[in-house]
Chain A
Amino acid sequence: AQSVAQPEDQVNVAEGNPLTVKCTYSVSGNPYLFWYVQYPNRGLQFLLKYITGDNLVKGSYGFEAEFNKSQTSFHLKKPSALVSDSALYFCAVRDGVNAGKSTFGDGTTLTVKP
């Protein structure tokens, strides 16, 4: 069975500092990996994805993520955090074989302090 782990419930960083939100996954076959963000009182929004190719993918709002096949990880990063980045972040994996069934992690709350 496929699974996603987000080991940190909460990440706190100061504005202007780099941020990392961690994600590891387990899936049979080649994974499709996604990050979504949920701002307060708003729906889930797509940030970025890894399907194939370059291990470093860039997405919306200056976020990027690095796919590491040997460590089965897909960590979300941003070089310089903004207070407006404070939100709930979800990592998700889709199975490229079984009709793309989705599994989400339990989320990491990112708080960026001024």
Chain B
Amino acid sequence: EAGVAQSPRYKIIEKRQSVAFWCNPISGHATLYWYQQILGQGPKLLIQFQNNGVVDDSQLPKDRFSAERLKGVDSTLKIQPAKLEDSAVYLCASSRRGGSYEQYFGPGTRLTVT
């Protein structure tokens, strides 16, 4: 089965610019996650979707970050405007519905904000 796809793999932007990341989960996985992983730290959950509804976005900086999952399949995460502290790897993961299921991660997008 195909894994979680993400694009782009790398992105360099200047502060105050905008950027968007795309994720296509494993077919049939109802739950999709976006994580931010800063160097030396564990992944931090930004937003969790179940189908096309938001389950948790308590750690999403909503003044600059937005995410959507139209039609309950692929998803986009946007940052506008970017700050220096947004430099990180952005991971997308998917899983079957329910907390007992493991997550499958994409390769991530490494964002550098200069």
Contact = CB atoms under 8 A, between A and B. Distances in A.
Contacts of B42: 4, 90, 92, 104-107
Nearest to A1: B58
A96 B102 contact: no
Interface residues of B, number: 25
A90 B41 CA distance: 10
Contacts of A102: 33, 45, 48, 103
A102 B37 CA distance: 14
Interface string B48-81: 1010000110000000000000000000000000
Interface stretch (B12-20, B21-29, B104-112): B104-112
Nearest to B41: A106
A4 to B, nearest CB: 8
Contacts of A46: 102-104
Contacts of B35: 104
Nearest to B4: A43
Contact of B102 (A49, A103, A104, A106): A49
Nearest first, the 6 A-B pairs at minimum CB distance are: A100-B99, A104-B42, A44-B105, A46-B102, A94-B99, A99-B55
Interface of B: 31, 33, 35, 40-45, 48, 50, 55-56, 91, 93, 98-100, 102-108
Given A100-B55, A100-B100, 20 more contacts: A4-B42, A32-B99, A32-B100, A36-B103, A49-B100, A90-B42, A90-B43, A94-B99, A99-B50, A99-B55, A100-B31, A100-B48, A100-B99, A101-B48, A102-B48, A102-B103, A104-B35, A104-B42, A106-B40, A107-B42
13 contacts: A32-B100, A34-B102, A34-B103, A49-B102, A51-B100, A90-B42, A96-B100, A99-B55, A100-B55, A100-B98, A101-B55, A104-B43, A106-B42
